[in-house]
Amino acid sequence: MSNPTILDKIKSYKLEEIAAAKAKTSPDAMDEKARTAPPVRPFKDALLQASIQGYGLIAEIKKASPSKGLIREDFDPVALAEAYAEGGATCLSVLTDTPSFQGANEYLTQARDACDLPVLRKDFMFDPYQVAEARALGADCILIIMACLSDGEAAALEKAAAEWGMDAIIEVHNQDELTRAEALKSRLIGINNRDLNTFETTLDTSRTLARYVPEGRIIICESGLETREDLADIARYGARCFLIGETLMRADDVASATRMILSNPLTAGGM
């Protein structure tokens, strides 16, 4: 047998986490928490509106990663959310996975309470229970990662998100996953330039796959974006929405770095 990949290891501990969470808070009890959560903020619509004239930016609150280790020492979800909002971000992404990213559920709630931006729960989702949990935390959108899900699992997560009034980003990083994603209803297609099995990153992934994304879908370019020139480059391939974490998280002045990376959008005429 081949050695387990990073994704295999993540799935293994995530399924254990889900079982433990269900033992602590029953699915019915979690549904009740989700029903009493603050109203959903429009995630997809915010991106669409921002991308008409400029770019839709999902700014990520991420303390660490498996490939890079600790990213930011002075990690404060409230201050980061405020800085991103001040810098012109459209939405937030908050890592809630603990073992690989040093995230926490409370980071999402804290960040969302600190600003008016819609928030993505960035985690590895396998069970509709996690979608109710995301809504209970205040999340407005979830991530559906095709690399670690069957078609049936992905469809069940998308259905659960719709039932809670949430949006879903369908994340792909190769042609096969994109083809599978097309069977789902969500308009948000995230192209991850990072291979989640090797953690190698190249913007060529977006350059290649963007041309195959069907009309009517909104492309979100994820990972490996460092400068406003990178954004203009990828915008030429049809992506006007971006998810950026590490580059902004390492900045001394997060609001200023956010403002800078958004400062020179490629206009429609330049595409």
Say if residue 131 is exposed, middle or buried (CB neighbours under 10 Å; 0-12, 13-18, 19+).
buried
Domains, the chain, ranges and CATH?
6-262 (3.20.20.70)
* Active site members: 60, 62, 122, 171, 192, 222-223
Q: Which two tokens stand for residue 157?
A: 């997560």
pTM of the model: 0.96
**Lowest pLDDT segment from 62-71, 73-82, 201-210, 235-244:** 62-71
Neighbours of 177 (CB within 10 A): 21
pLDDT in tens, 1-52: 567 888 899 999 999 999 999 999 999 999 999 999 999 999 999 999 999 9
pLDDT 10s digits, 103-138: 999 999 999 999 999 999 999 999 999 999 999 999
Rounded distance between C-alpha atoms, residue 269 and residue 266, angstroms: 8
